[in-house]
């Protein structure tokens, strides 16, 4: 089995793959002041509850955009699984089937997305990742990451708006039926969620225009990818586990 870790600003997402399918996907909140032992216990408990032996893990792959958590999870993996994780980063990129733009600047999660999307589609594509940040990673048919665009994520935008108003509101991430907000919560949903739908359309449209590719594939991923309605053909496909798929493909390069 392959165990992958996607350490993001909001969550540590863990996926356990049995060479055919994802058996389990678990999430742990990314809390940087928790000790190493905390994460070790949480991970061990997940395996215990699933009835899976830690000895069944053959490879561990890790991507992290949170430096304060990287070393802790590496140490947990070494202790619990007796494996040194493959840490996705500039030292690993030359082994991958994609060419990485600015390897010391791009997030390793975006590289994992690119690896998975290129493996699936083998054509020009843009990956729209709905996480703490909203990212657009464009990969050419030849497997080259040719550009990235970044905007604040949905939760980040709503939190920034609601926390800077005179009254604090708990705004659920639900697409409103109308852009005509009838109350404060509805108004924030209309402005952010419908507005972000337009943002996605605008950026993917401009990428399509700059590449002169009307058949450009658009892939949505990330924990909030299902929030934006897709019934108008905004995305070619929604792949919630795209980052995890990229990481388990990295394991096959070793």
User: Domain ends where: 87, 104, 128?
Assistant: 87
Structural contact between residues 86 and 251, judged by C-beta atoms closer than 8 angstroms: yes
Exposure string for 133-163, b = 16+ CB within 10 A, e = fewer: bbbbbbbbeebebbebbeeebbbbbbeeebe
Instruction: Judge if 185 and 81 occupy the same domain.
Output: no
Which member of 6, 109, 129, 245 is catalytic? 109
Instruction: Judge if 22 and 82 occupy the same domain.
Output: yes
Catalytic residue status for 45: no
**pLDDT for the residue 53:** 95
Find the CATH number of the domain harbouring 44.
3.30.420.40
What is the rounded distance in angstroms from the CA atom of residue 37 to the CA atom of residue 93? 30
User: Domain ends where: 87, 108, 139?
Assistant: 87
Instruction: Judge if 154 and 34 occupy the same domain.
Output: no
**pLDDT for the residue 44:** 95
**pLDDT for the residue 231:** 53
Domain tally, the chain: 2
Of 47 and 194, the structure prediction assigns the larger pLDDT to 47
Instruction: Judge if 145 and 73 occupy the same domain.
Output: no
Instruction: Judge if 66 and 103 occupy the same domain.
Output: no
Residue 22 lies in domain: 2-87
Enter the pTM of the model: 0.91
């Amino acid at each position: 089995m392959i165990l992958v870790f996607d350490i993001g600003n909001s969550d540590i997402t863990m996926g356990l793959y049995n060479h055919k399918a994802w058996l389990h996907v678990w999430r742990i909140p990314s809390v940087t002041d928790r000790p190493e032992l905390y994460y070790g216990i949480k991970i061990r408990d997940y395996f215990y509850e699933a009835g899976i032996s830690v000895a069944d893990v053959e490879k561990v792959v890790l991507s992290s955009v949170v430096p304060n958590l990287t070393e802790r999870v590496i140490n947990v993996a070494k202790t619990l699984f007796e494996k040194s994780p493959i840490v996705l980063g500039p030292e690993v990129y030359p082994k991958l089937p994609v060419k990485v733009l600015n390897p010391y600047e791009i997030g390793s999660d975006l590289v994992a997305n690119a690896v998975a999307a290129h493996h699936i589609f083998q054509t020009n594509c843009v990956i729209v990742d709905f996480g703490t940040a909203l990212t657009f990673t464009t990969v050419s048919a030849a497997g080259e990451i040719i550009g990235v665009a970044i905007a604040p994520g949905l939760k980040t935008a709503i939190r920034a708006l609601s926390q800077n108003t005179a009254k604090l509101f708990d705004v659920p991430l639900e697409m409103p039926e109308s852009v005509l907000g009838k109350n404060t919560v509805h108004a924030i949903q209309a402005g952010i969620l419908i507005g972000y739908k337009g943002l996605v359309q605008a950026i993917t449209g401009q990428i399509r225009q700059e590449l002169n590719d009307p058949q450009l594939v658009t892939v949505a991923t990330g924990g909030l990818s299902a929030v934006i309605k897709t019934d108008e053909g905004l995305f070619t496909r929604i792949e919630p586990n795209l980052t995890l798929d990229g990481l388990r493909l990295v394991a096959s390069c070793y």
